A and B are shown apart, each in its own frame.
Chain A
């Protein structure tokens, strides 16, 4: 199986593992995700080197706040760190994805960039991504992940 063909599975497996190990969040891939609700948080990270690409993860802002709490073992959602939390989860996952897609060659990971996003804007961006997967957390929160090959040398 080519790297491109295996990409959706790689994205799903990596993020499922990171969510479980780092945040104790359990999810599964879904081919028919329902719509997002409310404002979204998007984190983006690119890397250079063989297999250079840009990875994105999108979740609802409320879920991002819950993730921020889960990552540090707290119960109350942490809205102040919602964006940072999503960026950090992306950072953790990117290490694995970049390593696999580069065939084990050295890559240079960038720093996560986080922004708020409206649903309509995300729908349009997701549609043009080279690879996209949706995960559904056990309480029904949707997590979208996309990967697009970057221009050669792009990282930050």
Chain B
């Protein structure tokens, strides 16, 4: 079974970097959906199911934190795990993110194995949307 993944970041370069890292991690990723901000991501997620969302924090229109809050209030999206990908190194901020419902945090710059570890921890080694 392949994973379906959403990548949310206002930087097209960063979205490509995450996509590349996930690919290099040796994971079976079937489809990757992309959005440039939280608002776009919500529109996509309400149409298409994904197994996990990788999102930046600071984005125009709707931040990653705001997106997570909206997802938590949505009966359909509340169970979709969100992983924040950010350059922040502040332990208090990271702790607050995890307390708000973010399931994991990946710090930039990242390595492919970090994504493999996170996805396998959240979804299991053979998890994925049938």
Question: What range describes how many residues of A lie at the interface?
Answer: 20 to 34
Whether A117 is near chain B, meaning CB under 8 Å from some CB there, is no
Say whether A84 contacts B13, CB under 8 Å: yes
Query: What residue in chain A is nearest B87 (Cβ atoms)?
Result: A95
Say whether A71 contacts B16, CB under 8 Å: yes
Q: Which residue from B17, B59, B60, B93 sits with its C-beta under 8 Å from A22?
A: B17
Say whether A111 contacts B13, CB under 8 Å: no
Contacts of B92 in A (CB 8 A): 106
User: Which label, helix, strand, loop or mixed, suits the secondary structure of the A interface?
Assistant: helix
Say whether B13 contacts A72, CB under 8 Å: yes
Contacts of B12 in A (CB 8 A): 81, 84
Whether A107 touches B87, Cβ cut-off 8 Å, given contacts A84-B12, A92-B109, A95-B108, is no
Q: Please name 22 pairs of A and B residues whose Cβ atoms are closer than 8 Å in the assembled complex, sorted by A.
A: A17-B109, A21-B109, A72-B13, A72-B17, A72-B20, A81-B12, A84-B12, A84-B13, A85-B13, A91-B14, A92-B109, A95-B87, A95-B89, A95-B108, A96-B87, A99-B89, A104-B90, A104-B91, A105-B90, A110-B58, A111-B58, A111-B59
